[in-house]
Structure 1
Amino acid sequence: MKRNLLVIGLATVLSACGFQLRGTGDTQFAIKEINLTARNSYGETFKQLRDLLQSSQVKVSTAAPYTLDLANEQESQRTASYTTNTRSAETQLTSTLDYQIKSRDGLLLLQDQVEVQKVYVQDGNNLIGSDEEAAQLRGEIRRDLVQQMAMRLQLINPERLAELETTARAKAKAEADVREAAAKARAEQPQQSPIQLPISQ
């Protein structure tokens, strides 16, 4: 009885803090509209993130004021360790997803990366089973990437995006002013006349 009360109490405290288990409840976003692009717009990561946003009442539209671009997704694997008979080994799978948030006219506001790592046993005596486990693990990794992207987006609101855009535009203008001043200085610099060599008769 005491144990049940403790579990119920803990669950109540976590719920009050806004904690939710992965895959339960609704994912809430302050952003209500965003454009979503990717190098591979037919890939599973793109489709899963788009579906998650739409199911969370976020409108995915090319007319949105900001764009989330899944710029680059890469996967790598390496041997993490060997067993004593050297026929089995732990293999580490790593997936990274580079993403950018841009303004409507393509100005870069923010760029970052999410990463997921998982390990499975590569059994030399059961290659089919190992391959199936690896395929299942890749699916889990992709879902984790999407969850991480969702968590990153939950930390961003329209006010934050507007602030990032103001900063990015000020930086872009300052850089443009420097280039313009340098070009003007070069144009105003007197050009040296070419040296004329005497013509020998």
Structure 2
Amino acid sequence: MIKRNLLVMGLAVMLSACGFQLRGTGTSELTLKELDLSARNAYGETVTQLRQVLKNSGVDVHPGAPYHLILTNEQESQRAASYSGGNRSVEYELTTVLDYSIVGLNDVPLLSDKLEVRKIYVHDGDNITGSDQQADQTRQELRRDLVQGMVVRLQMLTPAQLDELQSKADQRAQAEAQAAAAAQRYRDETPQQSPVEVPGQ
């Protein structure tokens, strides 16, 4: 069941990237209609695919949008999941973690979170070329899952929720500014003691 659901999600992302949208999958149901998007790796495949999927889903992705999604860091790790010495085959688990944040007006941070996806592939010591191809294909599937996961996260956000986060962030910033101004006034109004001059011995 899980594999079938992942397959459906993967197909939905691939079709969206080609300009198609599947009805009933939720791939086009984003209430956010404007979004700025950037990444630490500005020309990386993840941000490129995500930008295309968002545009195909009716989101106007452009600088100056009220909210800005930033893919702050993407890291991949690999570990041996199992090993068989007889036929020299090893199962490797690939993990990709994507840190992201959303900022609002005046570059005020609204939320930060991360996505994590995992997949296993088999490395056959007797078929190095085929194993390398399998690893590359697994990485592509991981990236599609990552993009789809990011879209799902965005589907859970509404402009009203982001507006509320923006309002709370503005209130915090205003309170901090008022506290800093009050502290500065206190320092300005407090007489400074003159240094005591000690007569020379």
TM-score by length of 1: 0.81
CA distance in 2, matches of 1:110, 1:44: 23
Partner of 2:16: none
Amino acid at match of 1:34: L
Amino acid at match of 2:76: E
The total of aligned residue pairs comes to 180
Superposition deviation, residue 40 in structure 1: 1.5
Partner SS, residue 135 of structure 1: helix
Contact 2:28 2:58 in 1 (8 A): no
Further displaced range: 161-170 or 176-185: 176-185
Contact 2:105 2:166 in 1 (8 A): no
> Which runs of 5 or more structure 1 residues have no equivalent in the other structure?
1-20
CA distance in 2, matches of 1:161, 1:135: 37
CA distance in 1, matches of 2:46, 2:136: 15
Superposition deviation, residue 195 in structure 1: 4.2
Distance 1:88 1:192, change over 3 A: farther
CA distance in 1, matches of 2:187, 2:125: 68
Amino acid at match of 1:102: V
Amino acid at match of 2:48: K
Further displaced range: 22-31 or 91-100: 22-31
1:127-151 residue CA offsets vs partner (Å, 9 max, x unmatched): 2222111110000000001000000
Partner of 1:165: 166
Partner of 1:74: 75
Amino acid at match of 1:122: H
Amino acid at match of 1:58: V
> Which runs of 5 or more structure 2 residues have no equivalent in the other structure?
1-7, 13-21
TM-score by length of 2: 0.81
Matched, 1:87 2:91: no
Give 1:141-160 correspondences, 5 Å limit. Answer: 141-160=142-161
Partner of 2:114: 113
Amino acid at match of 1:113: K
CA distance in 1, matches of 2:166, 2:127: 53
Partner of 2:48: 47
CA distance in 2, matches of 1:39, 1:156: 23
Once superposed, what is the RMSD of the aligned Cα atoms?
1.9
Q: Identity across aligned pairs (percent)?
A: 49
1:62-105 residue CA offsets vs partner (Å, 9 max, x unmatched): 13211111111111112223224483322111111111111132
Partner of 1:27: 28
Partner SS, residue 186 of structure 2: helix
CA distance in 2, matches of 1:183, 1:79: 58
Higher Cα Rg: structure 1 or 2? Answer: 1
Partner SS, residue 103 of structure 2: strand
Partner of 1:13: none
CA distance in 2, matches of 1:92, 1:109: 33
Partner SS, residue 107 of structure 2: coil
Amino acid at match of 2:46: T
Superposition deviation, residue 189 in structure 1: 4.1
Superposition deviation, residue 169 in structure 1: 0.8
